[in-house]
Amino acid sequence: MKISFNYIYITNIIFIGVFFLIIITPLILTLLNPNSSTNIENKTLAQKPPVQLIREGKFGEYVKNGAKYFEDSYQLKSNLININSLIDYYGFNISPKDSVTLGKDQWLFYTAEDGVNIQDYYGKKLFQEKDLENISKEITNIKTKLDKRNIQFIIMMTPNKHTIYEEYLPSRIRNQKGSLTRADQYTPILSSLNVNYIDLRKTLLDQKSQYAYPLYYSLDSHWNDRAGLIAYNKLLTKINPRPSTKIPDITIGTKNRTGDLGNIIGLSHRLKDTSISANIPSPPLYSTNITNTKEINQIITKNPNGDPRKILMFKDSFSGALLPFMSSQFSEVLYDANPKVDFNLIDEYKPDIVILQFVERYSNILLQNGNKF
C-alpha cells in the first residue's frame, strides 16, 4: 500500500507541532502564573532576579539567576517529578534520588555522605590516631572549663537509623558492613575521660523489640518521640537530683505522617508513616520562642513550674524528639544548632547543665573544629 507524500508531510508537521507545544507549554504557564509552582523537592527555591541587575550591567548574572529561577518554578515541574518518581519507585523498585536508598519492607534510608555516613558503616574513613588524640584533648578542655564554672557537662550520641535498623538495609549495603565504626573508636576514649557520655546504640537496640512500632520512622531519617523518651530517660540518669515534674505520655497517631526521605524522593503524597509523638497537654507546660536567622538558630523554652536548673543544649535536628520531655521538666532550656560548644553563649546564658548532642554521622563534632562533617 502506497502512502502519499502529503500524508507523511502532514503527519510530520503535526508531530513537530505537538512536540513544540509540549516544550513551550510549561514556559507559557510559568509566565502567566509564575508563583504557583509546588515545592516538592524539600529545598529553598530560587527567587526571581531583579531587573536592577540589567540596569547595573550585570546581564550575565541576571541570565544565570533567571535560569535557576525558571528551573525551580516552571509549571508542570512537580507533575513531571511525580511521574518520574512513581515510575522509578513502583515500576523499577529504585530510588529517584541518589541520596535515598530503598530498603526492605518499604523502608527508606538516607545514604548521602552528609557527614560520614554509609562509608562509616563500611568501616571506611575512620578517625586517624591524631583525630582521636584531638577528640580527647578537646573534650577534656571543655570539661575543665565547665568544671571551673560549676556547670555539668553531658555528651549524647544519637545513632544513625541504619545502626539500629540495619535489618531493613538492602543486602548490597549490609553485606559490606565493616568491623569498626567511628563510634567504636571514640566511645572507649570518652568513657575513660570521666565525662558523662551517653552512647544510645545498645539502649535502643535492646529496647526496640519491646514496642509494636519502630523507634525510627521508616520514611524519615529521624527517630520518633518514643525513642526520644528512651533517650531522655537515659539522659536523666546523668542528672542528679532527678526532676520530679511529670513528663508527657506517648501517643500512637494515624498513618498520615510525611517523612523527610519521602519528601526527597517526591512521594510524600503517597507514602505515609504512623505518627508516634509526645502527648503534649493544651496549653503546653512551657512556652516556646524560636530564632532562625542566618547567624542564629535557637529555640528557648520556659516552664514556670519546672526544675529551676537551666539547660543549654548544642544540638542537631534529632533533639526535636527530646524537647517535649526536657522542656516539660526544666524551667528553661536553650537549644542551639551549633556544632561547636560556644563559651561566649555559655557565659551569657549561665546554664547549670551543658549538653552536646549529635547524630552518629556527625561525629566530627567531637573535634570541635566548627565543622559537622
Amino acid sitting at position 68:
K
Can you read off the three cell numbers belonging to residue 179? 568491623
Tally of residues, the chain: 373
Query: pLDDT-based confidence at 3, cuts 50/70/90?
Result: low
Return d(Cα 139, Cα 369) in angstroms, integer: 12
What is the pLDDT at residue 4? 60
**Residue 287: is its pLDDT beyond 90?**
yes
DSSP, residue by residue, 57-68: T-HHHHHHHHHH
**Residue 290: is its pLDDT beyond 80?**
yes
**pLDDT single digits (tens) 174-207:** 999 999 999 999 999 999 998 999 999 999 999 9
Amino acid sitting at position 317:
S
What is the pLDDT at residue 302? 98
Return d(Cα 217, Cα 249) in angstroms, integer: 18
**pTM for the model:** 0.83
What is the pLDDT at residue 48? 75
- The answer to whether 153 and 142 have CB atoms below 8 angstroms apart is yes
Which letter does DSSP use for residue 223 in this model? B
Residue 52: CB atoms within 10 A of its CB come to: 9
Return d(Cα 333, Cα 319) in angstroms, integer: 12
Return d(Cα 79, Cα 254) in angstroms, integer: 27
Q: Among the listed ranges 85-89, 138-142, 256-260, 267-271, which one has the minimum average pLDDT value?
A: 85-89
Return d(Cα 307, Cα 289) in angstroms, integer: 19
Residue 212 or residue 5, greater confidence: 212
The DSSP bridge partners found for residue 287 are: 302
